[in-house]
Amino acid sequence: GENVEQHPSTLSVQEGDSAVIKCTYSDSASNYFPWYKQELGKGPQLIIDIRSNVGEKKDQRIAVTLNKTAKHFSLHITETQPEDSAVYFCAATAGGSYIPTFGRGTSLIVHP
């Protein structure tokens, strides 16, 4: 089955810095890669996603890149703000599976 590795497990940055979270996946059949943000006491919320026919996608301060050949994808957050502090999860879904495999999560701490 699919295996998703996520690094780092903890990331501490100063407000205004950029943050990068990296994930690798094992199943070449995976073609959908969502990223979720989970705040304390809440369920994961989708923040951005990318499909395998696209190399990069941006949404304001958030961007995701995908390298299908290397089987890795990354989340980039620019101009970080204290409200970006949360746990971020990457996931990979194989076509037709409907069930994503999640990474272990990255705790992002943005210091004011």
Partner 1 sequence: KAGVTQTPRYLIKTRGQQVTLSCSPISGHRSVSWYQQTPGQGLQFLFEYFSETQRNKGNFPGRFSGRQFSNSRSEMNVSTLELGDSALYLCASSTPEEETQYFGPGTRLLVL
Instruction: Please give the residue ranges that form the binding site for partner 1 (CB under 8 A).
Output: 32, 34, 36, 41-46, 49, 89, 93, 97-105
**Measured from the CB of residue 14, what is the shortest distance to partner 1 in angstroms?**
26
Q: What is the DSSP letter of 100?
A: P
Q: Which two tokens stand for residue 80?
A: 């970080």
**Measured from the CB of residue 75, what is the shortest distance to partner 1 in angstroms?**
16
**Measured from the CB of residue 59, what is the shortest distance to partner 1 in angstroms?**
14
Q: Which residues contact 6 (CB under 8 A, 6 or more apart)?
A: 21, 22, 23, 89, 90, 103, 104, 105, 106
Nearer Cβ to partner 1, position 34 or 80?
Answer: 34
How many residues in the chain? 112
Nearer Cβ to partner 1, position 37 or 85?
Answer: 37
Nearer Cβ to partner 1, position 78 or 87?
Answer: 87
- Give the residue from 6, 32, 3 showing the smallest Cα distance to 94: 32
